[in-house]
Amino acid sequence: MKTLAQLREEINKCVKCGTCRSICPTFRVIGRESASARGKLALIQSYAAGELPMSETYVRHIKECTLCGACMDNCPNGVDTIGIITAARADAVERQGMPYAASFIMKTLLDPGRLMPMALKFASRIQGLLLKDSSVENGLLSRFSLPVIGGGRLLPPLARQFFLDTPEAKALFEDAEKRPGPQGGAKTVRVAFYAGCGVNYLMPEVGAKSLDVLRRAGVELVVPSAQTCCGMPAFSMGDVPTARAMALKNLEAFEAAGFDYITTSCATCGHALKHLFRGLLGDDPELRPRVEAFSAKVRDITELLVNALGFVGKGKETDISGKTVTYHDPCHLNRAQGIRREPRELISNAKGVAFKEMRFPCGCCGLGGGLSTTNYELSMEITRRKAEGVRDAGADVVVTACPGCIVQLRDGLHRYGVDAKVAHVVDLL
């Protein structure tokens, strides 16, 4: 993983053409140069040259970014804007530390082996005291004006039973221990399922449906029990050591049992498992071949179902059958993994579904890069265009492939009064 000092040449590749301004969601809302990739690179360049101190304003500017990757995708010079912005965030955390609450959450709460299960189980029991039911798909609204959870934000309820505690998942832990390698006879495809925090703590039903679809697609499933957070939240906030520790723990949890594939229903987790782990662990010569072998097996669930298992058109009737459906491309699936065709094939061949593209399906939902925590109002302004796109497409349901996008879209549709549901691709199968 390159430091800011090592990225100086990369920063100098920016010729200040401004192409990135036209597609940047934060620049579109704020309209200030520092909100664009070009502006951020200029600030980071001055800071790295010692011409600009590390100030609150500098840190605020480098946080005003969803890490959506649109600038990088459209840059004629191929500048690694994401690498530079995340290195600048890591540098800021190294020099200034993280706010105590954020550091505590990253280091302890997001690790299921530590405080997470206990703390979140407790929180799931008391959430009714702080939050009240909303009519929107069982989302919760704060009863009080509180930081982070206030401001009319529609919060996803914590699951009563976390995915990794469900009998379906636990049965597959035991299978993992009993079966050291592929079975004899006909070769079955062995697939390990990675849940991620969104599925585990907020949407266990997406995990259960994923297992059900994969089973119907004919694979032998395992859920490694020692899996933990993918590290992307910590990495996005600049906490590289915590992200690295999480990557290593996951590598160890998944590499033993000889899987053909490792799959996930979370676009962000898939991007982390495929790419971030290589960046975090690949500098170590002992870990490099292990992480290469691990990452090469990772497939998003839509990619696995379409390209490896031929599951197109084989889904069953669901409660979305008969509805008009549109699709939101998660940045971490579309740009980070290059997966656009596969979810669309699954949706347009789902039983009884009318598929209609919305305007800017690949526009960022506003959640990424920690923006919905660091600047909720800005993140919701970015979601506005998405909500309008869903409304104008006349969709009953907007489908996506990332629990994070689902949370943000539900909140945005609620805020902007768009009467549509939000679902995961597996809900159609």
- Where do contacts with ligand SF4 occur on this chain (CB under 6 A)? 14-20, 24-26, 37-38, 40-41, 65-71, 75, 77, 79, 81-82
Of 24 and 98, the one with the shorter C-beta distance to ligand SF4 is 24
Report in angstroms how near the CB of residue 342 gets to ligand SF4 at its nearest: 23
Answer whether 180's CB lies under 8 Å from 380's CB: no
Report in angstroms how near the CB of residue 38 gets to ligand SF4 at its nearest: 4
Of 37 and 420, the one with the shorter C-beta distance to ligand SF4 is 37
Report in angstroms how near the CB of residue 44 gets to ligand SF4 at its nearest: 11
Of 11 and 240, the one with the shorter C-beta distance to ligand SF4 is 11
H/E stretch holding 410 reads helix 403-415
The single-letter code of the amino acid at 392 is: D
Of 18 and 113, the one with the shorter C-beta distance to ligand SF4 is 18
Residue 257 tokens, joined = 């049992």
DSSP state of 61: H
The single-letter code of the amino acid at 307 is: N
Strands in 324-327's sheet, in edge-to-edge order, are: 354-355, 324-327, 397-400, 421-424
Of 16 and 178, the one with the shorter C-beta distance to ligand SF4 is 16
Of 21 and 179, the one with the shorter C-beta distance to ligand SF4 is 21
Calpha distance 29→379 (Å, rounded): 9
| CA proximity to 137, closest of 205, 196, 211, 208 | 205
Of 315 and 363, the one with the shorter C-beta distance to ligand SF4 is 363
Report in angstroms how near the CB of residue 52 gets to ligand SF4 at its nearest: 18
Answer whether 353's CB lies under 8 Å from 428's CB: yes
Calpha distance 144→149 (Å, rounded): 9
Of 209 and 335, the one with the shorter C-beta distance to ligand SF4 is 335
Instruction: Give 289's contacts (C-beta < 8 A, 6+ positions apart).
Output: none
How buried is 187 (Cβ within 10 angstroms: 0-12 exposed, 13-18 middle, 19+ buried)?
A: exposed
Of 25 and 403, the one with the shorter C-beta distance to ligand SF4 is 25
Strands in 154-155's sheet, in edge-to-edge order, are: 131-133, 140-142, 154-155
Give how far Cα 135 sits from Cα of 269, 310, 406, Å.
29, 38, 16
Residue 8 tokens, joined = 């100086």
Report in angstroms how near the CB of residue 223 gets to ligand SF4 at its nearest: 33
Report in angstroms how near the CB of residue 381 gets to ligand SF4 at its nearest: 12
Answer whether 43's CB lies under 8 Å from 49's CB: no
Report in angstroms how near the CB of residue 256 gets to ligand SF4 at its nearest: 36
Report in angstroms how near the CB of residue 30 gets to ligand SF4 at its nearest: 10
Query: Nearest 10 degrees: CA dihedral of 420, 421, 423, 425?
Result: -40
Report in angstroms how near the CB of residue 361 gets to ligand SF4 at its nearest: 16
Calpha distance 9→83 (Å, rounded): 12
Of 318 and 337, the one with the shorter C-beta distance to ligand SF4 is 337
Calpha distance 333→150 (Å, rounded): 29
Report in angstroms how near the CB of residue 247 gets to ligand SF4 at its nearest: 22
Answer whether 288's CB lies under 8 Å from 387's CB: no
